[in-house]
Amino acid sequence: MPVLLPEIDRTAPLPLATQIAGFYRRAIEDGRMRTGDRLPPIRTIAEACDVTRATVQDAYRRLAAEDLVAGTVGRGTVVLAQASATSSSDAARPLSPYAEAALLRSQEMSGAPPLPPGRALVANFAELAPDGARFPVAEWQAAMDTVLQQRGASVLGYGHATNGLPDLRALLAERTREVDAAITADDLLVTAGAQQALDLVLRTFCAPGDAVVLTSQSYHQMHGLLRAHGLQSIGVPFSENGIDLDVLERALRRQRVRLVYLMPTFHNPTGRSLDERQRHALMDVVARTGVPVVEDEYQCSLRVRGEPPPTLRSLDPRGLTVTVFTASKDLFPALRIGWIAGGSGLLQPMAAVKRFMDLETSALLQAALVEFLRAGHFDRYLGALRAELRVRHDALQRACRQHLPPGSTITAPDGGYVAWLELPKPGQGDRLAELAVERGVRVVPGRVFDLHGAPSRGVRLSLTRADRTQIEAGIAVLATCARELLASPAAARPFL
């Protein structure tokens, strides 16, 4: 059988991995490839089409997710089924257009390339979830035991408190006053994590076909959430100088723009933050419109240097900004507790929608968090986490100053889990991730955070799993890879 190589259109808006997956999907559906046939080796496609191996791996993973192919030891990637068994017709796959769009985005977000078989891990900069080795298991068990012993059945049934337990909202409001001085318990709606909070905001402000403004690189799960709601995305640049306010102002004048989504503190993926001056300038632009803002402050409590600036909500004279917080990044992901801060006119419709979605956030988890807070466990744990993060950020900056070649840059966040390593040309970040993982260092390529999966200059580095020793070793590897990329003749053109 002749080798079938993908047809790539570099002028098309579709990401290259999507094009490769689509080519082989069509080849299977029209019978050019049959059950048992082997797809070309990843290296063969990468060389023939001038793409990275990570791009081809992404395409093959998407086909595997659709049960069209499977990787087989000794045989490579093998076709599993013909079109009759995998047709995407309405009868065989009765998904809504929004579910299809969310599925496509989830397949595009492959994250960090996996380690090659047999390759020892040097440093893991890929995971953003908190490190399980640090979880306060005993303290949380004690809080749960206390709640069950003292409150028993009352926290195991329906609590009839859609907005959240009053004592938890009071404690959270007290903690939030550091960045929003006037906030009260009545300004909070407790949710099942920050992800549900964002979903509620979209359900409240937007309808299918509307547009949401967000930074060009942004939280990748938000991209899928927007597609699942049938919403359009409008990107605005976010650099060391802050949000590009001229682009933002033009975007806000576009029809059907219904919301602005921002991460003003320890932005994911870059780690950048807006200072107080930049926040005032931003809200001056937004305040001239009637477009609401949601600010995602998922890491704001992880500050290790400097004083926290005020929330955008506290600077909005219109009262049209809501702030999303979460305890999951401070403690552990299984604690699905987040909260939204906003005026009653905004929270009431969200609470009504939430009531129909899940009735209420777990009363047991809320009550245990109250006990955990009152016993002082939260503050002790958070203090130790901040101290360790300060050490890791300092180690990262020191290693980057020592090892990174000219032409590469690293952001210097004042806290949070992430930083952003960038090279000069689009696509070099994606290639850097591929080269690094072959040498035992895992990072997330920047294209994962791009609205359209476009080739990226940078990679995201997360400090949740890398201690000082691993940071030093990992940055040394990344620096070697960066020097190779910058010295290569291919560095004169973008990697695609």
Pair (183, 267) in one structural domain: yes
User: Quick one: how far is CA 120 from the chain centroid?
Assistant: 26
Q: Which residue has the tokens 């080519």?
A: 23
Of all residues in the chain, what percent carry a pLDDT higher than 70? Answer: 91
CA distance 494 to 496: 6
- Tens-digit pLDDT profile for residues 308-365: 999 999 999 999 999 999 998 899 999 999 999 999 999 999 999 999 988 889 999 9
Asked if the structure places residue 445 within a domain, the reply is yes
- Residue 11 pLDDT exceeds 70: no
Number of Cβ atoms within 10 Å of the Cβ of 34: 12
- Residue 93 pLDDT exceeds 60: no
- Residue 493 pLDDT exceeds 50: no
**Which pLDDT score is estimated for 36?**
85
Dmax over CA atoms of the chain, in Å, equals 72
Pair (28, 152) in one structural domain: no
**Which pLDDT score is estimated for 95?**
60
Pair (129, 143) in one structural domain: no
CA distance 456 to 496: 9
Torsion of CA 29, 34, 38, 44, to 10 degrees: -50
Q: Which residue has the tokens 């595009």?
A: 108
Residue 23 near residue 61 (C-beta atoms within 8 A)? no
User: Mean pLDDT over residues 178-193, rounded?
Assistant: 94
Pair (415, 299) in one structural domain: no
User: Mean pLDDT over residues 141-161, rounded?
Assistant: 89
Please say which residue of 324, 350, 375 terminates a domain: 375
Burial of 357 (0-12, 13-18, 19+ CB in 10 A): middle
pLDDT band, very low/low/confident/very high, at 12 (cuts 50, 70, 90): low
Residue 438 near residue 52 (C-beta atoms within 8 A)? no
Number of Cβ atoms within 10 Å of the Cβ of 139: 18
- SS3 of the chain: CCCCCCCCCCCCCCCHHHHHHHHHHHHHHCCCCCCCCECCCHHHHHHHHCCCHHHHHHHHHHHHHCCCEEEECCCEEEECCCHHHHCCCCCCCCCCHHHHHHHHHHHHCCCCCCCCCCCCCCEECCCCCCCHHHCCHHHHHHHHHHHHHHHHHHHCCCCCCCCCCHHHHHHHHHHHCCCCCCCCHHHEEEECHHHHHHHHHHHHHCCCCCEEEEECECCHHHHHHHHHCCCEEEEECEECCEECHHHHHHHHCCCCEEEEEECCCCCCCCCCCCCHHHHHHHHHHHCCCCCCEEEECCCHHHECCCCCCCCCHHHCCCCCEEEEEECCCCCCCCCCCEEEECCHHHHHHHHHHHHHHHCCCCHHHHHHHHHHHHCCHHHHHHHHHHHHHHHHHHHHHHHHHHHCCCCCEECCCCECCEEEEECCCCCHHHHHHHHHHCCCEECEEHHHHECCCCCCCEEEEECCCCCHHHHHHHHHHHHHHHHHHHHCHHHHCCCC
pLDDT band, very low/low/confident/very high, at 87 (cuts 50, 70, 90): very low
Phi-psi group of 63: left, alpha or beta (phi > 0 → left; psi -120 to 50 → alpha; rest → beta):
alpha
Asked if the structure places residue 4 within a domain, the reply is no
pLDDT band, very low/low/confident/very high, at 190 (cuts 50, 70, 90): very high
- Residue 84 pLDDT exceeds 80: no
CA distance 305 to 392: 13
Number of Cβ atoms within 10 Å of the Cβ of 369: 26
- Residue 492 pLDDT exceeds 70: no
Residue 329 near residue 302 (C-beta atoms within 8 A)? yes
Please say which residue of 344, 375, 406 terminates a domain: 375
**Which pLDDT score is estimated for 98?**
63
Asked if the structure places residue 454 within a domain, the reply is yes
Assigned token pair, 127? 């995971």
**Which pLDDT score is estimated for 106?**
57
**Which pLDDT score is estimated for 495?**
40
Please say which residue of 355, 375, 395 terminates a domain: 375
Number of Cβ atoms within 10 Å of the Cβ of 207: 12
**Which pLDDT score is estimated for 316?**
97
User: Mean pLDDT over residues 107-119, rounded?
Assistant: 74
Pair (264, 294) in one structural domain: yes
- Residue 92 pLDDT exceeds 80: no
More confident residue, 492 or 73: 73
Which residues lie below 8 Å from residue 428, measured CB to CB, with a gap of 6+?
457, 485, 491, 494, 495
User: Mean pLDDT over residues 282-311, rounded?
Assistant: 96
According to DSSP, the β-strands at 321-326 and 293-296 are: parallel
**Which pLDDT score is estimated for 1?**
56
- Residue 130 pLDDT exceeds 80: yes
- Residue 89 pLDDT exceeds 70: no
Pair (177, 288) in one structural domain: yes
Lowest mean pLDDT among 65-79, 253-267, 453-467: 65-79
Q: Which residue has the tokens 């994911």?
A: 268
pLDDT band, very low/low/confident/very high, at 496 (cuts 50, 70, 90): very low
Lowest mean pLDDT among 157-166, 368-377, 407-416: 157-166
**Which pLDDT score is estimated for 19?**
86
Asked if the structure places residue 3 within a domain, the reply is no
pLDDT band, very low/low/confident/very high, at 100 (cuts 50, 70, 90): low
Which residues lie below 8 Å from residue 331, measured CB to CB, with a gap of 6+?
130, 135, 136, 140, 378, 381
Pair (306, 444) in one structural domain: no
Asked if the structure places residue 105 within a domain, the reply is no
**Which pLDDT score is estimated for 402?**
97
- Residue 392 pLDDT exceeds 60: yes
Pair (424, 294) in one structural domain: no
Number of domains forming the structure of the chain: 3
User: Quick one: how far is CA 142 from the chain centroid?
Assistant: 32
Pair (354, 385) in one structural domain: no
- Which CATH number is 196's domain given? 3.40.640.10
User: Mean pLDDT over residues 100-110, rounded?
Assistant: 56
More confident residue, 116 or 473: 473
**Which pLDDT score is estimated for 253?**
95
User: Mean pLDDT over residues 223-234, rounded?
Assistant: 92
Mean residue pLDDT across the chain: 89
Asked if the structure places residue 232 within a domain, the reply is yes
Pair (364, 247) in one structural domain: yes
pLDDT band, very low/low/confident/very high, at 408 (cuts 50, 70, 90): very high
**Which pLDDT score is estimated for 57?**
84
- Which CATH number is 389's domain given? 3.90.1150.10
Pair (218, 262) in one structural domain: yes
Asked if the structure places residue 58 within a domain, the reply is yes
Assigned token pair, 372? 């955990």
Domain holding 323, by residue range, is 137-375
Pair (312, 351) in one structural domain: yes
- Which CATH number is 87's domain given? 1.10.10.10
- Residue 204 pLDDT exceeds 60: yes
**Which pLDDT score is estimated for 15?**
72
Of all residues in the chain, what percent carry a pLDDT higher than 90? Answer: 69
Q: For the CA atoms of the chain, what is the radius of gyration?
A: 24
Lowest mean pLDDT among 73-77, 225-229, 432-436, 454-458: 73-77
- Residue 275 pLDDT exceeds 70: yes
- Residue 280 pLDDT exceeds 80: yes
pLDDT band, very low/low/confident/very high, at 103 (cuts 50, 70, 90): low
Asked if the structure places residue 109 within a domain, the reply is no
